[in-house]
């Protein structure tokens, strides 16, 4: 079976969930965006409105097209309000126990053959699916990148039990959303974070050891390696706490000390300097 996907439920309305819901609605799908916090749903709604208003101002879409996108999204605190979506994408907080609990609910609320996808950055797809018995075949990683409307990649992660139908429908959904799916197997950090995080970590070591300052390190990687953003600026954008947690998953799962977070990164996280989201990290962001 390889039925097309016309509606999705997105679980978690934070940075990623709000973006996935918007891109899905812009691609013509019906969307139910679910969060336990009503203020997060309100924030997501405002983000959708502002983004679409900007597109109307820039004459990329008409007002009636923007209204149609808005009308395709339902905001709810209950998964049960979704009208039989063919795919549910979990984008809740990066916590294994929470994700296992949410997937326990998802398998009941969204019966087979609905795809049960997770946007996790680092948690094992195989482990999330572990307790789901015959439903484990429906679980897959669908790793979007931030900001979702801009970034072209979806890393599609096949867990040990993921079945062919789930894989095929996830790939076709990613394409329907205008993204490029690239398939990887389920190892800690997948490909993106396994390659990116050691580079970010090494940039912190270079800064800590006084090889150069953050501006210089970022400038060197931008101008010399053609990166759009230096690794320390990127760490602020991702969140220093998020980088730290992903490095710890890599360290624990792959058992290699090279993944262990640099002392300077750990110190900044302990000091509450988490990056863009709180106004300071490696750099200062007074406006935030």
What residues make contact with ligand NAD under the rule CB under 6 A?
11-17, 34-37, 40, 91-94, 98, 102, 119-121, 144-146, 238
Which residue of the set 27, 124, 193, 201 is catalytic?
193
155 is catalytic: yes
Q: Write down the catalytic residue from 82, 121, 124, 201.
A: 121
**Are 20 and 144 contacting, i.e. CB atoms less than 8 angstroms apart?**
yes
Q: Tally the C-alpha atoms within 13 A of residue 245's C-alpha that lie toward its C-beta.
A: 14
Q: How far is the CB of 68 from ligand NAD (least distance, A)?
A: 25
Instruction: Using the minimum distance from each CB to ligand NAD, give the nearer residue, 91 or 240.
Output: 91
SS3 content of the chain, % helix, strand, coil (to 5): 50, 15, 35
Shortest spacing between CB 280 and ligand NAD, in angstroms: 18
193 included as an active-site residue? yes
**Residue whose CB is less far from ligand NAD, 14 or 130:** 14
Whether 143 sits among the annotated catalytic residues: the reply is: yes
Of 104 and 263, CB closest to ligand NAD: 104
Joined together, the tokens standing for residue 277 give 């989201």
Which of 24, 90, 143, 280 is labelled catalytic? 143
Q: How far is CA 123 from CA 93, 141, 152, 187, in A?
A: 11, 9, 22, 9
> Are 127 and 157 a contacting pair, CB within 8 Å?
no
The least distance separating ligand NAD from the CB of residue 156, rounded to whole angstroms, comes to: 13
Question: Tokens standing for 72?
Answer: 């395709």
Residue 261 is given by DSSP the state: P
Smallest distance from ligand NAD to CB 246, Å: 8
Check the CA dihedral 61-63-68-74 and report its sign: positive
Active site positions, annotated: 121, 143, 155, 193
């Amino acid at each position: 079976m390889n039925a097309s996907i016309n509606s999705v439920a997105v679980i978690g309305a934070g940075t990623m969930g709000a973006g996935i819901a918007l891109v899905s609605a812009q691609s013509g799908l019906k969307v139910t965006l679910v969060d336990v916090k009503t203020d997060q749903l309100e924030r997501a709604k405002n983000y959708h409105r502002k983004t679409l208003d900007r597109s109307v101002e820039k004459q990329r879409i008409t007002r009636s097209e923007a209204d149609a996108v808005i009308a395709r999204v339902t905001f709810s605190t209950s998964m049960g309000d979704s009208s039989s979506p063919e795919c549910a994408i979990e984008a809740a907080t990066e916590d294994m126990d929470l994700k296992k609990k949410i997937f326990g609910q998802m398998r009941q609320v969204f019966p087979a053959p609905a795809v049960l996808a997770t946007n996790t950055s680092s948690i094992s797809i195989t482990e999330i699916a572990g307790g789901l018995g015959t439903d484990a075949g429906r679980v897959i990683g669908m790793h979007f990148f931030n900001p979702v409307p801009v970034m072209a990649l979806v890393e599609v992660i096949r867990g040990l039990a993921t079945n062919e139908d789930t894989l095929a429908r996830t790939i076709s959904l990613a394409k329907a959303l205008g993204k490029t799916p690239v398939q990887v197997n389920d190892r800690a950090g997948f490909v993106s974070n396994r390659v990116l995080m050691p580079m970010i970590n090494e940039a912190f070591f270079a800064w800590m050891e006084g090889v150069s300052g953050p501006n210089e390190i970022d400038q060197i990687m931008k101008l010399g390696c053609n990166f759009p953003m230096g690794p320390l600026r990127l760490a602020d954008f991702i969140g220093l706490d998020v980088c730290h947690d992903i490095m710890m998953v890599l360290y624990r799962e792959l058992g290699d000390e090279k993944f262990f977070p640099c002392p300077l990164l750990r110190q900044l996280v302990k000091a509450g300097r988490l990056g863009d989201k709180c106004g300071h990290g490696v750099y200062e962001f007074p406006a935030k």
